[in-house]
Copies of this chain bind each other. A is one copy, B any other.
Amino acid sequence: MSRRPRADARRNHDRLLAEADAVFREQGTGASLEGIARRADVAVGTLYGHFPNRRALVGAVLRERNEALFDAGEALAGKAPEEALRQWVDLVVSHAATYRGLAELLADGIDDEASELHASCTRMADIGEQIVSRAIEAGTVRPDVTAADVFTLMNAGAWTREHASAEQAARLVSYTIDGLLVSDRSPQGAV
């Protein structure tokens, strides 16, 4: 419970966050931490003092963006099930494509409780779970579809954006969601 950080500590903290955001945007989450410290005019040890590892720094940089994402996700509760699902997946794909390498951190973070990103991953998966179970109850989505399927799809979509294009990723995601829906060739979603 540190209450009043020293003025220089607070300043270093903020500079590190700002430079980390810029550098991750340019070079991805694998960028040199020494480089970030240099750009923030701070010694490496200071960076480690504030953020014990790379994931902690990535998590800190994403904090506000995460809140906005979760709020947007919960605002989808009113929409029609298929629309809500499509929009939620699109939102998270865009989010996870903010920095190159983030999709990988998120995909690994859901299964690693020690990860600083684990809480956000869980939150994302939970929102997806709600949307999916609602869609299944409505008979829109196949009853065997899981929250894990949706979480995986989001990360795979973001990864595709990094390694192909946003258009290609959108196509993959769209086709996959089509495949999740109840149709003539899939089991019916009676509850």
Name A's B-contacting residues (CB within 8 A): 104, 107-108, 145, 148-149, 152-153, 155-157, 159-160, 163-164, 168-169, 171-172, 174-181, 183-186
Q: Which of B156, B168, B171, B185 contacts A181 (CB 8 A)?
A: B185
- Distance between Cα atoms of A153 and B180 in the complex (Å): 15
The 10 closest A-B pairs by CB, nearest first: A179-B179, A178-B179, A175-B179, A107-B163, A156-B156, A176-B176, A184-B184, A183-B183, A152-B168, A156-B160
Copies in the assembly, this chain:
2
- Distance between Cα atoms of A191 and B104 in the complex (Å): 41
Q: Which residue of B lies closest to A168 (CB)?
A: B152
- Min distance, Cβ A37 to any Cβ of chain B, angstroms: 24
Q: Contact: B163 with A149, CB < 8 Å? A: no
Chain B residues with CB under 8 Å of A177's CB are 179
- Distance between Cα atoms of A113 and B32 in the complex (Å): 28
Q: Which of B104, B159, B179, B185 contacts A156 (CB 8 A)?
A: B159
Known: A149-B172, A159-B156. A107 touches B180 (CB 8 A): no
Chain B residues with CB under 8 Å of A174's CB are 179
- Min distance, Cβ A29 to any Cβ of chain B, angstroms: 14
- Min distance, Cβ A124 to any Cβ of chain B, angstroms: 14
